[in-house]
Amino acid sequence: MPHDIEYTLSESAKVLQNANLIKKYHANLVYDYTEYPTKGHWSENFSDIDYKNAITEWFPKNKTKPVLFYVHTPFCEQLCNFCLCSKEITQDYERVKEYLYKYLSKELDLLEDHLIKNKINFNFKEIYFGGGSPTYYREEEFKFLINRIKKFINFDNLGDFTVEVDPRRVNEERLIFYHEMGVNRLSFGIQDFDPGVQEEINRPQPPEMVDKLLTKKVRKLFPVINFDLLIGLPRQNIETITKTINSVVELKPSQLQTMYVHYKPGTRKYMIKMVRNEPMLDFFDRKAVFQKASELLIKSGYTRAGFESYSLPEDPLTKSMVEKKAVYNSLGTQKGEATNFIAVGSSAHGVLNDQFYFQNYYEQPLYRKALDEDRFPIYRGLKMTEDDTIRREVIRHIRTFFNIEFGYFTKKYSKKFTNYFDEELNRLKVFEKDNLLKLSDNNIILTPLGEHFSPQIANVFDIYNDQKFYKKII
Ligand SMILES: C[S@@+](CC[C@H](N)C(=O)[O-])C[C@H]1O[C@@H](n2cnc3c(N)ncnc32)[C@H](O)[C@@H]1O
Ligand code: SF4
């Protein structure tokens, strides 16, 4: 286990003996610190010129830093009622083609021009195709996209190349085609295998469908396979999650993300369809379902890789957790090789450590309009301060490794941790009283019970979000 307090399943399970504690710490955490400062604090005054300047300013000092190239495909064939991702539902493939050939290509042209003009040659180490559903592209369009990005990305230099896969839209042949195109890691949207849950979320997808895809050949071509699961969906209970996890264990993905579902009907009205028959799980039941999934996974040989992730011992993520290199970001817990992102496509966001965040427009009309006007479609961004960088790393350590070694931060940032975070350490005493963490002169270690509340503990170090959880619990 990646922490120093001996982890026992029974210690972690004690959370279920204390409903009051779960209730006290329950909060609808929409900011789960995939970024810090969280997106709501990025400036809408950050323009395409700021974006270009950010790249030219960052590159000369970071020439060899690994960069991940993210490509967003904002289309899906069918709506999943839980979905918070940025996508448009369409059956019109011409619309998908238009996006690719007219707009995404234009954005790639702008990017390539800017890189050439300024003699910028990023060390692109990873590629990630996310969505929406990148599996929407047929082979011809997929090939076009690959050939287009090959103009400025050297595929011989690549480590991971991931595609998010909607299992309902591919077959073995398609997965082999992806491999021929250079893809070597697959991330499957699974969510839940229970037929009742699938009915509520409008995502029929039996385990047999996934089993049929994961043939011997496919497993050989893709040694790292990730499954996304969701916790807190209507009609999930201990029995259904047990069956789902048993099916998952049989399918043996090397990595898993078991994310608490965010319910945001205010911004995604269709989400209420998900609760037409049964409510979302309450604060206690979602914890119980999460705990059950966690226990079953650990008993089946998975190790925990951060708050909502698991990996098999031989998976590279496990090693990166032991070496404390793993990083949690919008793509889940990643092994931490390329943590700088250059991103294209509507809604896509990038980061150049430790200086800039930036994001494209979500809305298709705004994304397209900017490109029609030869501008990068930048919606917002942020120039980070040193304080942002330090706090981001503290938050990541809490959420991923469940501990903080003061010496590491004191050495890395030349600031004595205990002085710099004097106030925060004081606030953590409330959590200590509830046996969620142990404070010493050298470190903070979350207890197995406290791991359940790591996002809330991380919030103590967030100076932008007004200490919401802390104020709630004191
Ligand atoms: C952008 S989707 C892409 C995957 C692909 N389109 C599919 O569904 O198979 C990536 C992941 O985001 C997660 N996700 C979507 N909506 C969510 C929500 N409301 N709360 C938490 N995670 C969510 C899902 O687990 C999903 O697999
Ligand atoms: S979960 Fe995936 S397939 Fe479903 S609507 Fe969202 S992006 Fe599309």
Residue 1 has pLDDT above 70, yes or no: no
306 touches 328 (CB < 8 A)? yes
For the ranges 18-22, 153-157, 392-396, the lowest mean pLDDT is seen at 18-22
Which protein residues touch ligand 2 with a CB less than 6 Å away?
76, 79-80, 83, 85, 87, 131-133, 166, 189
Q: What is the pTM of this model?
A: 0.96
d(CA 397, CA 270): 35
For ligand 2, what atom is nearest to the CA of residue 203? 4
Residue 5 has pLDDT above 80, yes or no: no
Residue 85 Cβ inside 6 Å of ligand 1? The answer reads yes
Residue 420 has pLDDT above 70, yes or no: yes
Domain 39-383 has CATH 3.80.30.20: yes
The pLDDT of 411-415, averaged and rounded, is 96
Q: Alpha helix locations (H) across 336-405? A: 364-372, 386-400
- Structural domain boundaries in the chain: 9-32+385-473, 39-383
Residue 346 has pLDDT above 90, yes or no: yes
Choose the residue to mutate in 79, 197, 230, 362 for probing ligand 2, maximizing ligand atoms within 8 Å of C-beta. 79
Question: What kind of fold does domain 9-32+385-473 have according to CATH?
Answer: Arc Repressor Mutant, subunit A (1.10.10)
Tens-digit pLDDT profile for residues 262-281: 999 999 999 999 999 999 99
DSSP 37: S
Percent of the chain with pLDDT over 70: 97
Tens-digit pLDDT profile for residues 129-176: 999 999 999 999 999 999 999 999 999 999 999 999 999 999 999 999
Q: What pLDDT does 2 receive?
A: 43
Choose the residue to mutate in 76, 259, 274 for probing ligand 1, maximizing ligand atoms within 8 Å of C-beta. 259
Tens-digit pLDDT profile for residues 255-264: 999 999 999 9
> Which pairs with CB-CB distance under 8 Å and at least 24 residues apart come from 272-279?
273/81, 273/202, 274/81, 274/82, 274/200, 274/201, 274/202, 274/233, 274/234, 275/200, 275/234, 276/200, 277/200, 277/234, 277/235, 278/200, 278/234, 278/235, 279/234
d(CA 270, CA 457): 32
Residue 6 has pLDDT above 80, yes or no: no
Same fold: 9-32+385-473 with 39-383: no
For the ranges 217-221, 420-424, 434-438, 453-457, the lowest mean pLDDT is seen at 453-457
- Per-residue pLDDT band for 39 (boundaries 50, 70, 90) equals very high
